[in-house]
Amino acid sequence: MRVNKGFYRVKLVFDQIGQHEVKLVINGQERSIATVDVLKNCNKYVKYLDKYGRYRFFPFSGNFTTELTKEKIGEISKSTYNLESAEATTDNIGYSVSKSVTLAAYVSEQQMEVLEDLYSSPRVYLLEKGKWVRVEVENNEQIKTLRNFRTIKLTVKLPQNYAITSI
């Protein structure tokens, strides 16, 4: 007898925050029960490859900080015909802009075991303005709190952007 194994994608909508149990039924028989966590204020989602080659998703809370840094690309010298009206002898070419986001989450020990793959994953993505953007994990900070829960802070660096001001 050949058994086909596959994956099913189901969209679940819950009105209340917290843990919900979903019964998995195949051919009228209950096979398993899955626990689904519904969290509040999940603005940022991270997608990453785990050690088995599967993508995992993790929601981070609405508490995040964004840091922008800009650096001058370079300057070119310009010709001035009138020294009285000239403001500068060089023109700015543009800027390279770096953006890093620090995310925070409150996780249990069991969730932390799953999240360990995030730090060594070769591919990490952040949902930014409706699109998945590949990011680099810079560092993390873990603060152990009561009842085996931890507060983690994860800093990710988005791809560098170039703003050219003159050609």
- Give 116's pLDDT tier (boundaries 50, 70, 90): confident
| Residue predicted with more confidence, 104 or 81 | 104
Nearest alpha-carbon partner for 109 in 62, 144, 156: 144
Domain 41-164 sits in CATH 3.30.160: no
HSE value, Cβ hemisphere, 13 Å, CA-based, for 90: 7
What's the average model confidence in pLDDT over 120-139?
88
Determine contact, residues 48/80, Cβ cutoff 8 Å: no
Q: How far apart are CA 102 and CA 99, in angstroms?
A: 10
Radius of gyration, CA atoms only, the chain = 24
Name the residue type at position 2.
R
* Average pLDDT value over all residues in the chain: 77
Q: Evaluate if residue 125 carries a pLDDT over 70.
A: yes
Token pair, residue 142, equals 């873990």
Give me 79's structure tokens.
């010709």
Residue 132 CA to residue 148 CA, distance in Å, equals 31
